[in-house]
Amino acid sequence: MRRLGPLGSALGIGRWILLGAVSGALAGVASFIFLEGLSLVTDARVGNEWLVLGLPVAGLGIGLANHRLAGRASRGNALLLAEIHTPSAWVPRRMAPMVLIGTWVTHLFGGSAGREGTALQMSGSLSDLAGRVLKINAEDRSMMLTAALGGAFGSVFGVPFAGAIFGFEVRSPTPGRFRALVPTCTASIVGDAVVRVLGHEHALRARISSLDGTWRNLLVALAGIAFGLAAVAFVEAVALVRRAMARLFDTPTWRPVLGAFGVLGLAALFGDEYLGLSLPLLDSAVSGDTAGWWVWALKIVFTAVTIGSGFPGGEVTPLFVIGATLGAALAGPLGLPVALLAAVGMVSVFGAAAKTPIACAVMGVELFGAGTVLPFAMGCVIAFAVSGNRTIYELPPKDG
């Protein structure tokens, strides 16, 4: 490879900053539209409990759309990661509107899903569309897609520094990985700024004090083992439901319908607090309220049935809820502050499932303050190590 001089390097970095800014601006606008709409449909469902009865009909509509219209877009995050590693074909333009509408519909009728997957796919689709218009080369396209992931994560959760690291970290080892930091940092900061300028307010989290004593931090490490196992349980549960649905139905049309009836049955047995994002469960845990031992496990089941049967959305917010409620349940037996261990669990379970422990430790600091940087780091690293190779971002087969 020809070595560039200082001027050539500066021009190259300037180009990546510009591309990152474009990607970040698109991510920010997309996240703003998505978050505002998500708030509206969530409020509508909470205020009209009968809407959950329409989940099977919504599932049929989503199944038909996946079968008739989605095409390559149905691969979701896996397609984005594949194109980052080996750029081959443009991300379908229909991915952004389909995942946006599908996720709104999922939440309107009570499906247990998240929001990160939608943000990533919208950002990736729009960013690739911009790259197509700009006629960028394969290397710049890979950089811009990486930036789109960071911009989406930073803007949808209001954590620009974690978003910058997330885009870099989730990319996994590939040529040019470290160069991707430049556009990804730019995209995450710009995306977060756009969401805030447009007027969306992210939930503020209370600052958490540091722990006294080395032995108490070691207890956090012990909890990290449980957080890693919870991440494994989530990944395996989603995969189990997907395999079962694939055996039952050759096409994706009827999978969400069966999943919808499963979610309704679960809600009838265990209550509706596990539907949608379940943010009240998360807020309660990180505010210092203890949680039952069954809460985190039920959230895994509700989400696995929803996501595994084909409803769009994301896994991150459910993973936040799972981790936070598990941490709140473990705090008493371990003699640790409930709010602290819930916060550590919130980021550690996701970090283990996504294989992004550094980004999640940084996210914990951004949300809850730097006083607990050591517990966040320990929880995320231990959970990551325990979870092995299991990840929510595993690349699926192209067909099936």
CATH number, position 284? 1.10.3080.10
Pick from 168, 198, 228: which residue ends a domain? Answer: 198
Predicted local confidence at residue 73, as pLDDT: 78
Predicted local confidence at residue 399, as pLDDT: 38
Residues 274 and 324 in one domain: yes
Any domain includes 247:
yes
Any domain includes 164:
yes
Per-residue pLDDT of the chain (400 residues; tens, 9 = 90+): 445 555 556 677 888 899 999 999 999 999 999 999 999 999 999 999 899 999 999 999 999 998 888 788 778 788 888 888 777 888 888 898 999 999 999 999 999 988 888 899 999 999 999 989 988 888 888 888 999 999 999 999 999 999 999 987 876 655 556 677 888 999 999 999 999 999 998 887 878 877 776 677 789 999 999 999 999 999 999 999 999 999 999 888 999 999 999 999 999 999 999 999 999 999 999 999 999 999 999 999 999 999 999 998 888 899 999 999 999 999 999 999 999 999 999 999 999 999 999 999 999 999 998 878 889 999 999 999 999 988 998 653 443 3
Residues 136 and 244 in one domain: no
| Best CA proximity match to 187, nearest among 12, 28, 18, 20 | 20
Predicted local confidence at residue 386, as pLDDT: 96
Residues 225 and 186 in one domain: no
Any domain includes 372:
yes
Residues 102 and 241 in one domain: no
Q: What is this structure's pTM?
A: 0.90
Host domain of residue 266: 214-387
Tokens of 163: 């978003």
Residues 132 and 178 in one domain: yes
Tokens of 306: 């929803």
Predicted local confidence at residue 80, as pLDDT: 86
Any domain includes 206:
no
Any domain includes 394:
no
Residues 192 and 226 in one domain: no
Residues 186 and 253 in one domain: no
Residues 16 and 98 in one domain: yes
CB 150 within 8 A of CB 119: no
Any domain includes 106:
yes
Any domain includes 269:
yes
Q: In b/e form, how buried is each residue of 253-291, taking b as 16+ CB within 10 angstroms? A: bbbbbbbbebbbebbeeeebbbbbbbeebbebbbeeeeb
Residues 321 and 268 in one domain: yes
Residues 160 and 248 in one domain: no
Any domain includes 208:
no
Total of domains in the chain: 2
Residues 218 and 334 in one domain: yes
DSSP letters of 248-314? Answer: H-SSTTSHHHHHHHHHHHHHHHH-STTSTT-HHHHHHHHTT----TTHHHHHHHHHHHHHHTT--S-
Predicted local confidence at residue 1, as pLDDT: 42
- Distances in whole angstroms, Cα of residue 23 to Cα of each of 29, 155, 189, 362: 10, 12, 11, 22
Predicted local confidence at residue 2, as pLDDT: 47
Pick from 174, 198, 222: which residue ends a domain? Answer: 198
Pick from 143, 163, 198: which residue ends a domain? Answer: 198
Rounded CA-CA distance 347/319 in Å is 8
Rounded CA-CA distance 43/327 in Å is 27
Residues 275 and 317 in one domain: yes
At residue 171, the 3 state secondary structure works out as coil
